[in-house]
């Protein structure tokens, strides 16, 4: 490690997000190659040099890179549709369009989704892709290629649906796979792409979509498959009252009890949304270490409700933040979720302390790392961790009068990013992507969105 190029970042405020909630104002960070080798208050000791690059970060806050724990990249192409629908009606309206996606569309949508997140401080992304029309090409591979091109750490959750309308499910029959096809394709995705190494840029998760689009057989067999292969499990859970009613009617139990009956609670599992959770549900998640991807903007957009995040955190449930698909969160970036998580969880009398600015930042950093099972590698600024970090500029018009830098980041307008590193490599500098041409990414996404709309219009 001593032979690797060293970078010194100095004179900035630092929110490490470590277990002791250590902060420095000012402080320094020393990076060597892909890893952090030193973090501390004041000036860096001379013996830590020599440095190949010195960054004077006065006026900035350094944080771990943000971690997105739930997304649907392909939905970038269908933003702004079904604007006033709840989840089930929204899905029914959009499934026929989504069933016509193909590989070029997904690649363009993934690049746009990743570019938007990276430009907003995300260094680790996740996507849950579950729509695989026949003859559409390698859709998961298109996402993986896009993440590699953008230089972002990535967890690709190979989703699946096998419960069509004819069997009592929500998606149309033409949008689902057979159970056998889904399991075989998921196992192939893990064998082809999953990297279990601590420094991995790519991980694969097993991710059947939701109780109303997946058979009990696929739920059970997916859990067995994931544990046999040693990968994590992801799905949607307890998102809406309609989902809870579906589970009661079809299975005779609520979503959490159903998940437990199919092997879907455990410290290798995380679920998106988890809005409608009873005290017993939260206790079951805490007891088993099951994680939650909190998606406040999407929950509000679809009128799903307010997830009980403060109660989950108090019980010890791992909680991260998720953008969710951009057809239900058109902003498409994670900084919005920091602010909305705090504000939405404070709605109501006597809730002014329900979530603090530091808890919100932790959700987006160490909380997300825990949910993805990568807390030993990312999520905090500590020696030995991977050099995934962001320098937020806080001395400009939008933030200069907020003395607390974490409050400025969470409560203020989106902060400009001077530098975002993944493995010590710049992905964003001075507010601009270094790994892609934003105008070209936007133009291609627009072209593919129009092509998809035309295909859907012609049936």
Question: For the chain, how big is the Rg over CA atoms in Å?
Answer: 21
Tell me the average pLDDT across 270-282: 98
Helix (H, G, I), strand (E, B) or coil at 97: helix
pLDDT band per the 50, 70, 90 thresholds, residue 1: very low
Residue 402 · residue 411 · CB < 8 Å: yes
Superfamily the domain 6-64+378-433 falls into: Urease, subunit C, domain 1 (2.30.40.10)
How many residues are listed for the chain in this entry?
Answer: 459
Percent of the chain, pLDDT > 70?
Answer: 99
160 or 2: which carries more pLDDT confidence? 160
pLDDT in tens, 302-330: 999 999 999 999 999 999 999 999 999 99
- Alpha carbon separation from 342 to 296, 308, 347, 407, 420 (Å, rounded): 9, 12, 9, 11, 24
Question: Domain 66-371 is in which class?
Answer: alpha beta
Question: Distance (Å, rounded) from C-alpha 241 to C-alpha 217?
Answer: 24
SS3 letters across 50-94: CCCEEEECCCEEEEECEEECCCCHHHHHHCCCCCCCCHHHHHHHH
**Where in the chain do CATH 2.30.40.10 domains reside?**
6-64+378-433
Which token pair is 120? 């907003």
DSSP-assigned letters across all residues of 372-405: TT-TTTSSS--TTSB--EEEEE-SSTTTTT-SSH
Under a CB-based contact definition with an 8 Å cutoff, are residues 306 and 344 in contact?
yes
CATH 3.20.20.140 residue window(s) in the chain = 66-371
Half-sphere exposure of 443 (CA within 13 A, CB side): 5
SS3 content of the chain, % helix, strand, coil (to 5): 40, 20, 40
**3-class DSSP state of 7:** strand
Q: What is the pLDDT of residues 355-371, one digit of tens each?
A: 999 999 999 999 999 99
Torsion of CA 258, 158, 127, 356, to 10 degrees: 30
Contact 69, 372 (CB under 8 A): yes
373-428 pLDDT per residue, tens: 999 999 999 999 999 999 999 999 999 999 999 999 999 999 999 999 999 999 99
At 102-129, the pLDDT tens digits run 999 999 999 999 999 999 999 999 999 9
């Amino acid at each position: 490690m001593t032979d690797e190029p060293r970078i010194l970042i100095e004179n900035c405020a630092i929110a490490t997000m470590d277990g002791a909630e250590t902060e420095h104002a000012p402080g320094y960070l020393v990076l060597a190659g892909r890893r952090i080798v030193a973090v501390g208050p004041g000036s860096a000791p001379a013996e830590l040099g020599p440095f190949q690059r010195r960054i004077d970060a006065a006026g900035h806050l350094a944080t771990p890179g943000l971690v997105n724990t739930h997304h649907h990249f392909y939905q970038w192409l269908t933003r702004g549709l079904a604007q006033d629908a709840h989840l089930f009606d929204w899905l029914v309206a959009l499934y026929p369009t989504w069933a016509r996606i193909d590989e070029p569309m997904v690649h363009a949508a993934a690049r746009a989704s990743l570019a938007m997140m990276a430009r907003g401080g995300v260094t680790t992304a996740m996507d849950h892709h579950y729509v695989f029309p026949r003859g559409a090409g390698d859709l998961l591979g298109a996402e993986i290629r896009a993440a590699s091109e953008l230089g972002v750490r990535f967890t690709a959750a190979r989703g699946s649906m096998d419960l069509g309308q004819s069997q009592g499910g929500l998606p149309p029959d033409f949008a689902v796979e057979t159970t056998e096809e889904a399991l075989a394709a998921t196992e192939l995705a893990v064998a082809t792409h999953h990297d279990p190494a601590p420094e991995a840029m790519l991980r694969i998760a097993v991710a059947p979509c939701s109780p109303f689009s997946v058979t009990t057989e696929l739920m059970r067999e997916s859990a067995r498959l994931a544990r046999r292969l040693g990968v994590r499990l992801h799905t949607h859970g307890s998102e809406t009252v309609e989902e809870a009613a579906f589970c009661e009617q079809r299975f005779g139990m609520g979503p959490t009890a159903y998940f437990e009956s199919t092997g879907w609670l455990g410290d290798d599992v995380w679920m998106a949304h988890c809005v409608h959770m009873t005290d017993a549900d939260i206790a079951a998640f805490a007891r088993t270490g099951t994680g939650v991807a909190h998606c406040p903007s999407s929950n509000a957009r679809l009128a799903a409700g307010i997830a009980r995040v403060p109660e989950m955190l108090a019980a010890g449930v791992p909680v991260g933040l998720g953008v969710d698909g951009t057809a239900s969160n058109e902003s498409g970036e994670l900084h919005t979720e920091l602010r909305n998580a705090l504000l939405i969880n404070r709605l109501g009398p006597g809730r002014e302390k329900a979530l603090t600015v530091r808890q919100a930042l932790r959700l987006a950093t160490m909380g997300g790392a825990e949910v993805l099972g990568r807390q030993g590698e990312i999520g905090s600024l500590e020696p030995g961790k991977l050099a995934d970090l962001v320098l937020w500029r806080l001395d400009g018009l939008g933030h200069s009068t907020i003395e607390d830098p974490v409050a400025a980041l969470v409560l203020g307008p989106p902060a400009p990013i001077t530098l975002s590193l993944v493995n010590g490599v710049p992905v964003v500098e001075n507010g601009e992507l270094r790994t892609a041409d934003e105008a070209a990414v936007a133009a291609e996404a627009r072209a593919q969105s129009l092509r998809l709309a035309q295909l859907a219009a012609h049936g």
